[in-house]
């Protein structure tokens, strides 16, 4: 059969898959609508049915385009089509018509080679346009000169960039697939230089885990942490395109519900706040709230006055601390001890001469009355607030920052002082999160918990009483009595009334609940996270299931990682896996050669990733004066309109018309213009890392504008021919 005949045959097969997809979609949509209006089941059953059908609808919807992207022919003559989702023939013993790319049987599509064909004879890759197959390439194992396996990959790499990262499900390479499918239940570190695909590999690993561990993952979901909102927006389409939506996206500044911090501290202050030593500072700040009075505090009770002396407060403080409860919740222990001592002393004075301690009932009756009096006594409440105040994390940290004497008392660095204690930064978020654990629930939260518990208990008692009365009715029935169906329905509805049904999506619930824990966490640009950031993330994932993505050579934060062991060994010592990606799929060799010279200057021990392609377009540099800069940037922007794809102008902070390199981390553009690299480098190692990031964002074209002589690593760049770009 010739190429055209085979192409037509493949088109017909894939058209049949789309017909089956459309039928399945219509069937599931009808079932979903029926579930929405369902009657007769319990609310929980209906809710579960609606959620299940909705998940299935989303799974089918993501496969609208690029449903099938290849096929495998085995040496035994078996043919398997590989695609975005699995489709089965329910009329033929559920034979697979299309294998999900994550299925074990689909793995050779990504891993088979001429040297190790894994029982395969041929790999065919489809070139698709929406729902249509435009063509295909074949890689026949064992035949020399017929290897066309890179055609689909190179077409994808050379295609103009659009809005957002694309999935690579059709072009996953063997080294990437090995990481995606790695059977490691704990922490996996994926390190790779710019363009190696570490981010998209991590996201495909999430999709793979959610496919292979669906039951374990779907109730708690996955958290993806990235460096900034632009990055999260860039990668936000990948997992939905793979059929996975139970994923929460966050930055380090949004991990605490109700706070979205974006401001950054100076590098030195960020380093101090990010150190694990801040835990001791925060503990000391909390301990300083637990005071012993210098002078006795008088409390009037009935006709006597009793004192909260230093001895009483010290005893109560020690008992409260020994309870192991967080500060706010331990106040109840402190109050109980103080109350006990005050009432004992008051009763001894009030009943002196007429009440014996042996008269236990009289003694307890009087104590009960005094306890009630204390509950409303303003001087007693004021004394408790002075000796053991209830605080929120925001109140305590703001008070700590704004008072140098408090910082000194807690053993903190004086540089943490600031006039506006509530001017929250990204580095404050892990400290606030730590204080949530140290302080515990405040009075409002405790009252809400108590009210909720009381309401649930009352509802349970009411339901039990009604159901018991129904049982009693059946016990006294004679032969002519009947228990009608309406009675049973009433009982069912009554029981259902007390079931709590949260109609929010998993993502909505997780974002609103600080105590929410995830089954898996992805951390991108992980080299930027501090020791305190890692404490937050470990709380969010008690099972310690992480995919950690980063490149130590690109670290810009003074609080970030110098090594992966520094951050991970305190939590998973000797139990984390390391994998590296070495091939640059994003950056052409012409551009990577320039970036590699910068890397060699500030990280001589780090080897730059090898580019998989060359595009023949040489990077250029042009000298401009400050007055000429705006026109030169505009010239670049206008020239880029003649090209498909995206472009960006990167420069030092504060230069009009540019964005800082830090805001482009993890992003990619067809064309990049770097402005004033000499000023970027002036920021020392941090600046060198930022210039390296800036140079490696481009997938096609790179230009440089400079005021002063080019830095040595860029000195080989030639002036552009004609207009910029």
Annotated binding site: 192-199
Phi, psi of 443 (to 5 degrees): -60, -40
Give 346-363 as a 3 state SS string: HHHHHCCCCCCCCCHHHH
Which residues belong to the annotated binding site for ATP? 192-199
Which residues make beta-bridge pairs with 82? 70, 99
Evaluate whether 561 touches 533 at the Cβ level (below 8 Å). no
Quickly list H helices, 476-548: 485-497, 506-512, 531-540
Q: What is the rounded distance in angstroms from the CA atom of residue 224 to the CA atom of residue 251?
A: 8
Evaluate whether 409 touches 288 at the Cβ level (below 8 Å). yes
Helix (H, G, I), strand (E, B) or coil at 704: strand
674 DSSP assignment: E
Helix (H, G, I), strand (E, B) or coil at 689: helix
Q: What is the rounded distance in angstroms from the CA atom of residue 518 to the CA atom of residue 252?
A: 16
Evaluate whether 131 touches 88 at the Cβ level (below 8 Å). no
Copy the structure tokens of residue 59.
């799974």
Helix (H, G, I), strand (E, B) or coil at 194: coil
Q: What is the rounded distance in angstroms from the CA atom of residue 720 to the CA atom of residue 725?
A: 7
Dihedral in degrees, nearest 10, Cα atoms 391, 394, 399, 401: 150
With CA atoms as reference, report the closest residue to 586 among 554, 603, 604, 610: 610
Q: What is the rounded distance in angstroms from the CA atom of residue 24 to the CA atom of residue 531?
A: 48
Helix (H, G, I), strand (E, B) or coil at 136: strand
With CA atoms as reference, report the closest residue to 224 among 628, 643, 524: 524
With CA atoms as reference, report the closest residue to 560 among 666, 682, 427, 659: 427
Q: What is the rounded distance in angstroms from the CA atom of residue 24 to the CA atom of residue 31?
A: 11
Residue 354's Cβ-count burial label (10 Å; 0-12, 13-18, 19+) is exposed
Q: What is the rounded distance in angstroms from the CA atom of residue 545 to the CA atom of residue 533?
A: 16
Give 434-462 as a 3 state SS string: HHHHHHCCCHHHHHHHHHHHHHHHHHHHH
Copy the structure tokens of residue 58.
């989303």
User: C-alpha angle with apex 505: 200 to 49, nearest 5 degrees?
Assistant: 110
Q: Where are the beta strands (DSSP E) in 231-312?
A: 247-251, 297-301, 304-308
Contacts of residue 191, defined as CB under 8 A and 6 or more positions apart, other chains included, come to 198, 549, 550, 551, 552, 564, 578, 579, 580, 581
Q: What is the rounded distance in angstroms from the CA atom of residue 160 to the CA atom of residue 647?
A: 10
Q: What is the rounded distance in angstroms from the CA atom of residue 570 to the CA atom of residue 87?
A: 45
Copy the structure tokens of residue 674.
């770097």
Phi, psi of 167 (to 5 degrees): -75, 160
Q: What is the rounded distance in angstroms from the CA atom of residue 557 to the CA atom of residue 683?
A: 12
77: left (phi over 0), alpha (psi -120 to 50) or beta: left
């Amino acid at each position: 059969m010739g190429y055209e005949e085979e192409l037509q045959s493949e088109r017909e097969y894939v058209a049949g898959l789309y017909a089956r997809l459309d039928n399945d979609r219509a069937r599931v949509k009808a079932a979903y609508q029926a579930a929405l209006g369902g009657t007769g089941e319990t609310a929980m059953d209906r809710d579960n049915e609606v959620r299940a059908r909705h998940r299935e609808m989303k799974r089918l919807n993501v496969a609208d385009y690029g449903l099938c992207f290849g096929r495998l022919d085995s040496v035994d003559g078996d043919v398997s089509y590989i695609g975005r989702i699995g489709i089965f023939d329910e009329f033929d013993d559920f034979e697979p018509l299309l294998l999900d790319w994550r299925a074990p049987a689909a793995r050779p599509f990504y891993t088979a080679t001429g040297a190790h064909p894994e029982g395969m004879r041929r790999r065919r890759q489809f070139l698709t346009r929406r729902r249509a197959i435009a063509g295909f390439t074949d890689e026949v194992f064992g035949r020399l000169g017929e290897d066309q396996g890179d055609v689909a990959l190179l077409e994808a790499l050379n295609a103009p960039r659009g809005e957002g990262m694309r999935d690579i499900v059709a072009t996953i390479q063997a080294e990437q697939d090995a990481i995606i499918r790695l059977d490691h239940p704990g922490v996996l570190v994926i390190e790779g230089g710019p363009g190696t695909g570490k981010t998209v590999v991590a996201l495909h690993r999430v999709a793979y885990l959610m496919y292979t561990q669906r039951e374990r993952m779907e109730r708690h979901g996955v958290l993806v942490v990235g460096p900034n909102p632009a990055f999260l927006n860039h990668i936000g389409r990948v997992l939905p395109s793979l059929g996975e939506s139970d994923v929460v996206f966050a930055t380090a500044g949004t991990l605490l519900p109700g706070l979205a911090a974006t401001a950054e501290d100076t590098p030195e202050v960020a380093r101090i706040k990010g150190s694990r030593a801040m835990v001791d500072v925060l503990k000391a700040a909390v301990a300083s709230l637990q005071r012993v009075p210098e002078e006795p505090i008088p409390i009037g009770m009935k006709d006597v006055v009793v004192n909260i002396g230093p001895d009483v407060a010290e005893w109560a403080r020690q008992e409260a601390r020994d309870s192991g409860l967080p500060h706010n919740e331990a106040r109840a222990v402190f109050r109980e001890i103080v109350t006990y001592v005050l009432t004992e002393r008051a009763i001894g004075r009030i009943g002196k001469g007429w009440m014996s301690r042996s008269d236990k009932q009289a003694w307890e009756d009087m104590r009960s009355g005094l306890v009630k009096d204390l509950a409303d006594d303003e001087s007693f409440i004021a004394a408790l607030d002075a000796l053991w105040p209830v605080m929120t994390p925001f109140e305590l940290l703001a008070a700590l920052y704004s008072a140098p004497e408090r910082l000194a008392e807690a053993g903190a660095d004086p540089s943490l002082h600031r006039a506006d204690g509530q001017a929250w930064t990204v580095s404050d978020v892990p400290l606030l999160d730590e204080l949530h654990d140290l302080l515990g629930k405040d009075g409002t939260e405790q009252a809400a918990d108590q009210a909720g518990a009381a309401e649930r208990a009352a509802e349970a008692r009411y339901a039990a009483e009604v159901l018991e009365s129904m049982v009693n009715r059946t016990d006294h029935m004679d032969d002519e009595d009947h228990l009608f169906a309406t009675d049973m329905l009433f009982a069912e509805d009554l029981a259902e009334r007390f079931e709590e049904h949260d109609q929010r999506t998993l993502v909505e619930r997780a974002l609103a609940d600080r105590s929410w824990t995830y089954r898996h966490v992805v951390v991108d640009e992980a080299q930027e996270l501090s020791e305190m950031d890692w404490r937050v993330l470990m709380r969010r994932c008690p099972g310690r299931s992480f995919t950690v993505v980063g490149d130590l050579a690109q670290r810009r934060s003074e609080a970030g990682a110098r090594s992966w062991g520094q951050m991970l060994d305190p939590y998973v010592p000797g139990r984390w896996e390391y994998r590296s990606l070495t091939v640059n799929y994003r950056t052409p060799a012409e551009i990577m050669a320039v970036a590699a010279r910068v890397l060699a200057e500030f990280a001589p021990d780090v080897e730059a990733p090898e580019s998989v392609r060359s595009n023949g377009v040489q990077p250029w540099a042009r000298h401009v004066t400050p007055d000429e800069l705006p026109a030169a940037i505009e010239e670049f922007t206008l020239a880029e309109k003649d090209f498909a794809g995206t472009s960006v102008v990167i420069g030092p902070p504060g230069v009009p018309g540019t964005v800082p390199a830090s805001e482009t981390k993890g992003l990619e553009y067809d064309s990049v213009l770097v402005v004033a690299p000499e000023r970027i480098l002036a920021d020392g190692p941090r600046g060198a890392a930022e210039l390296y990031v800036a140079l490696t964002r481009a997938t096609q074209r790179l230009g440089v504008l400079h005021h002063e002589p080019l830095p040595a690593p860029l000195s080989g760049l030639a002036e552009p021919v004609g207009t910029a770009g």
